[in-house]
Amino acid sequence: MTANYSTQFRSIKDEVSPGEWEARVNLAACYRLTDSFGMTDLIYNHITARIPGDDEHLLINLYGLLYKEISASNLVKIDLEGNILWQPDTDYGINKSGYVIHGAIHRARPELKCVIHTHTRAGMAVCSMKCGLLPMTQTSMRFVGHLGYHDYEGPALDLAERERLVRDLGPHDAMLLRNHGLLTCGATIQQAFNTMYQLEMSCRSQVDAMAGGQEIVLPPQEVIDHTANLYQPGTRRPYGVLEWHAMLRLLDAEGKNSGYPPYWH
């Protein structure tokens, strides 16, 4: 018997609730956008989202697919512990150990609908800098006072580390996992993606500026604090709402003739 690693999946649109289907489409789009903006790590990492009306159940990627191959119908339904409740007809499964970080946060912060974790080059670089994320750009200032830091403890995540992860995230929607990577979460999939994009761009610009070797200028603290406040999702407008339609248009255009099935399949 050969394993079934086919990447052709039948549509399950008519088999799930409209709310679940919408979450599946948006989460699949979030995976594609993460790929589009260069934030993938081969087949690794996860983005998880709660199913509306069924908050104890989450959607997660099949372990083995490229983010380019993830679509609404091939996302796996799991419970908060990572047990599989439904998966498409395939021999791919999920990476349960990779899910541990997500599980800890989903359990502790029920208001969060989506958790994104990446291992990008710039993210890993800034996570390894003693100074952490510098408030050196308008983009990075939004994270001042709103960013958690979690020290590296090795890849094996025990129960006690889950508690420390939750403690270190605190009330924030973003965290640097020291020597490891980036994490963002949000009240919606769209907002979590927007936050991850901003955090990634903050890290890339910091790495570039430091590589340039020139002294970095920082604005006065009151300007930084004022800016951080203005960019909070609750201050002026939520993030990811206006942006999302443009992001979906980008995916539709990029998907034409790409050879990969559309995210909304």
Please report, as ranges, the residues that interact with Zn ion according to CB under 5 A: 181
* Residue number with CB closer to Zn ion (126 or 224): 126
Amino acid at 221: Q
Q: Do 172 and 147 contact (CB within 8 A), yes or no?
A: yes
**40-72 per-residue burial string, b: 16 or more CB within 10 A, e: under 16:** beeeebbbbbbbeeeeebbbbbbbbbebbbbbb
84-86 and 76-79 strand pairing: antiparallel
Q: Do 228 and 220 contact (CB within 8 A), yes or no?
A: no
Compute the least distance from the CB of residue 98 to Zn ion, in Å. 7
* Residue number with CB closer to Zn ion (112 or 228): 112
DSSP 67: G
Rounded to whole angstroms, the Cα distance separating 30 from 43 reads 15
DSSP 230: H
Compute the least distance from the CB of residue 180 to Zn ion, in Å. 6
Compute the least distance from the CB of residue 123 to Zn ion, in Å. 10
State which H helix or E strand residue 201 sits in.
helix 189-212
Compute the least distance from the CB of residue 175 to Zn ion, in Å. 12
Which residues are CB-neighbours of 253 under 8 A, at least 6 positions away?
none
* Residue number with CB closer to Zn ion (154 or 212): 154
Which residues are CB-neighbours of 244 under 8 A, at least 6 positions away?
26, 190
Compute the least distance from the CB of residue 116 to Zn ion, in Å. 11
State which H helix or E strand residue 77 sits in.
strand 76-79
Compute the least distance from the CB of residue 181 to Zn ion, in Å. 5
* Residue number with CB closer to Zn ion (181 or 233): 181
Rounded to whole angstroms, the Cα distance separating 115 from 43 reads 17
Compute the least distance from the CB of residue 199 to Zn ion, in Å. 15
* Residue number with CB closer to Zn ion (181 or 261): 181
* Residue number with CB closer to Zn ion (181 or 240): 181
* Residue number with CB closer to Zn ion (87 or 95): 95
